[in-house]
Amino acid sequence: VTPETVATVIYTSGTTGRPKGCVITHSHLMFETDMVTGRWEPVFRSRSGEQASTLLFLPLAHVFGRMVEVAAVRGGVKLGHQPVMAAAELLPDLAAFRPSFVLAVPYVFEKVFRAARRRAEGEGRAGPFDKAVEVAVAYAEALEQKAFGRGPGPSAALRVQHQFFEKTVYGKVRGALGGRVRHAMSGGSAMDRGLGLFFAGAGITVFEGYGLTESSAAATANPPERIKYGTVGQPVPGTTVHIAEDGEVWLHGGQVFSGYLNDPEATAAVLNDGWLATGDIGSLDEDGYLTITGRKKEILVTSGGKSVAPGALEERVRAHPLIAQCIVVGNDRPYVAALVTIDREAVEHWLAMQGRPPLAPAELVRDPALETEIRRGVVAANTLVSQAESIRTFRILAHPFSEEHGLLTPSLKLKRRAIERAYATEVAALYG
């Protein structure tokens, strides 16, 4: 076995087409995992009397999970595996395994936060919980500004408030992840800046990063000493990021794959003299931090000629506590619309707080009060975009998009074409 020997073939998620096999060599994996365990040494280092450990619940067929698995073995990290990402099964296992760090997609952090908020509301402590969230965000934001030399850090008053909520709120949030978690890595999709700040203020530093199957996972990530929430960080050591004229992100580094299995034509389309054309649209700020705004293949063009990047709009809609998933449609249509699925646990809690009985899925999609709530989430998302890009109408679906029905990838990404085919009647009705 040499560095150039093929170690594995990992398939792309196939969100917009047929999955392609990415040829990953031993040198790609060694470059990536040694860089991660070295640069993020505080995460992978065992403390005196406490071994670093992680419960891996990402699918091992996905590059993020595979990279972490190899990094854990090379870094001497205790590794457990839980194959079900559903919160009902995952949270009890996190409590039992008690990892020191976790790797997840934003969905998991959202579920933990929303469950904590519902629990507080059910106990009549929604007001104090919301105040604790406000304090955590302000505290983390002050530390962020200090790290960049733009502020003095948390004030004395803010530190006192933060300490007050440590046992009553923040400790319980950490407890939901096992109680020992101090670090987390997030990838796969964008995390809301406010959510990242909340977890940081609650004592769990979330390192958000960005990469593809073709880059053996992380190509950029937030460095331990200077995290900028809402971005996917700076290029990892040994990696270069270039923004092309059309806004496409290009990557160069020792972790960039060898090509697609038995597909030289597809390989030539994305690899040019060692540079990987990612297909993602992004920008670099004055500090060299990358923000991803969408994928080239997912850009919608309305019949009026308006280009719309759906990703950011969908994420903003999903920020509403009752909404589980959102897909924006409108390609070659007169305006932008959306299909929305609901978080059943959150909706059941919402109904109970109103003194209403549970409703069947068919009743929920026609419930006027629920429609009003969902509309609030859509209106909030529309404030981020121009009127031509805003969601004009939406349809609430009775059932969530699932991997079992071929509508999600194993890492929970939307399979857009499959969803639009499966719900062609509902999409047509949005423009009826």
CA 388 to chain centre: 27
pLDDT tens-digit readout, 369-383: 999 999 999 999 999
Question: What pLDDT sits at residue 84?
Answer: 81
pLDDT tens-digit readout, 163-195: 999 989 999 999 989 999 999 999 888 899 999
Q: In the chain, pLDDT over 90 holds for what percent of residues?
A: 81
Distance (Å, whole) CA 78 – CA 58: 16
Question: What pLDDT sits at residue 190?
Answer: 84
Question: What pLDDT sits at residue 205?
Answer: 97
Q: How many residues does the chain have?
A: 432
Q: Using 50, 70 and 90 to split pLDDT, how confident is the model at 329?
A: very high
* Average pLDDT for 302-322: 91
Question: What pLDDT sits at residue 15?
Answer: 72
Distance (Å, whole) CA 265 – CA 105: 31
Pick the residue with more confidence: 282 or 89? 282
Question: What pLDDT sits at residue 216?
Answer: 96
State the average pLDDT for the chain.
93
Residue type, 5: T
Looking at domain 1-295, what is its CATH homologous superfamily? ANL, N-terminal domain (3.40.50.12780)
Distance (Å, whole) CA 208 – CA 189: 9
pLDDT tens-digit readout, 139-162: 999 999 999 999 999 999 999 999
Helix-helix angle 106-122:126-147, to 10 degrees: 140
Nearest one of 370, 318, 358 to 339, comparing CA atoms:
318
Distance (Å, whole) CA 287 – CA 305: 34
Domain segments of the chain: what residues? 1-295, 299-430
The SS3 call for residue 98 is coil
Q: Using 50, 70 and 90 to split pLDDT, how confident is the model at 137?
A: very high
Side-chain half-sphere CA neighbours of 247 within 13 A: 13
Decide: pTM greater than 0.75: yes
- Residue 47, pLDDT > 90, answer no
pLDDT tens-digit readout, 85-134: 777 888 899 999 999 999 988 888 998 899 999 999 999 999 999 999 99
Q: Which CATH number fits domain 299-430: 3.30.1300.10, 2.120.10.30, 3.30.300.30, 3.90.1860.10?
A: 3.30.300.30
What are phi and psi for residue 342, nearest 5 degrees?
-110, 155
- Residue 16, pLDDT > 90, answer no
Question: What pLDDT sits at residue 432?
Answer: 84
Question: What pLDDT sits at residue 384?
Answer: 87
Asked if 30 and 37 touch (Cβ cutoff 8 Å), the reply is: no
Question: What pLDDT sits at residue 150?
Answer: 96
Pick the residue with more confidence: 15 or 143? 143
In Å, how far are 19, 219, 300, 319 from 209, measured between CA atoms? 22, 8, 25, 20
What are phi and psi for residue 185, nearest 5 degrees?
-120, 135
